[in-house]
Amino acid sequence: MTFNIETLQFAAFLQFKKCNEIFLYKVFYCYSNILKDIIIFVKYRYNSSIVYILKESNGNCLFIYNEISLSVPPGYMIHDISYCNNRNNEIILFIKAFDDNEVGNDFASYILLYYDILNGGTCKTFHQFNNPDGFYSDVFFNSTGEEMFVVDENQLYIYVYKSKVRSLKRTCQIIVLEQYSTEQLNLMNLPKYLLCSDGL
């Protein structure tokens, strides 16, 4: 739940599905110029995770705006997740994962992946750690969120994330989905290609 400092009110509880498996979780607050205030709730376990995009309704209630299933490359397990909200309001998850086959060894191979939450797609590997134990390696971001600094052994790697230009069609889709529910859109009988492409 959330607490509104202006109204001094707690939001109603948002309960997630019960699961018999043990999951770890991370919670991030973000701002998007289209979605406005959102909360990213990431529930992860081993080689998969679920990302919930949460919003608050006018009635002071949290609701799940979108639910995304993520998966890392086969044979890898998720160790940690962080995020960056860049100057183009893109929300990028950074996932540190290690080789599942090396569990129990003194050192395991680590990789770093990224996932653009609003633009979808798949998790992409962008760094393979040289350090035999990537557990102690760090990732930092500059103020715009488009440069990532990876500390790996005695080396500093600098990556630049060039933000994709969002098409007018994609921007319109996000705005329409913000204003109307799926049921309302079906009743409007809009041309299917307008809403079925781009992962919607």
- Over residues 38-58, the pLDDT tens digits come to 889 888 876 668 888 888 877
Sheet-wide strand order for 147-152:
138-141, 147-152, 155-160
The per-residue pLDDT for 102 is 59
Cβ-based neighbours of 81, under 8 Å, separated by 6 or more: 26, 42, 44, 49, 93, 94, 95, 96
Mean pLDDT, the chain, rounded, equals: 76
- Mapped onto helix, strand or coil, the DSSP state of residue 199 is coil
Report long-range pairs for 2-8 (Cβ below 8 Å, ≥24 apart): 2/39, 2/56, 2/62, 4/60, 7/60
- Mapped onto helix, strand or coil, the DSSP state of residue 186 is helix
The pLDDT confidence band at residue 108, using thresholds 50, 70 and 90, is low
Kind plus residue range of the DSSP H or E element containing 174: helix 168-179
- pLDDT higher than 50, residue 101: yes
Look at 200 and 198; give whichever has higher pLDDT: 198
pTM over 0.75: no
Q: Report the 10 Å Cβ neighbour count for 39.
A: 17
The per-residue pLDDT for 80 is 82
Tokens coding 148:
């990532």
- pLDDT higher than 50, residue 64: yes
Distance CA 72, CA 50 (A): 12
Q: State the chain's maximal CA–CA distance in angstroms.
A: 59
Q: What percent of the chain has pLDDT over 70?
A: 80
Look at 144 and 135; give whichever has higher pLDDT: 144
Look at 165 and 97; give whichever has higher pLDDT: 97
Tokens coding 187:
């009743």
Place of tokens 């009988």: 189
- pLDDT higher than 50, residue 199: no
Among the ranges given (19-33, 35-49, 127-141), the one the predictor scored with the smallest mean pLDDT: 127-141
The per-residue pLDDT for 75 is 76
Place of tokens 């930092």: 140
DSSP per-residue letters across 100-156: GGGTTSS---EEEEEEETTT----EEEEE-SSS-GGG-EEEE-TTS-EEEEEETTEE
- pLDDT tens track for 78-91: 888 888 887 777 78
The pLDDT confidence band at residue 200, using thresholds 50, 70 and 90, is very low
Look at 112 and 191; give whichever has higher pLDDT: 112
Q: Report the 10 Å Cβ neighbour count for 77.
A: 18
Nearest Cα residue to 172 out of 189, 190, 194:
194
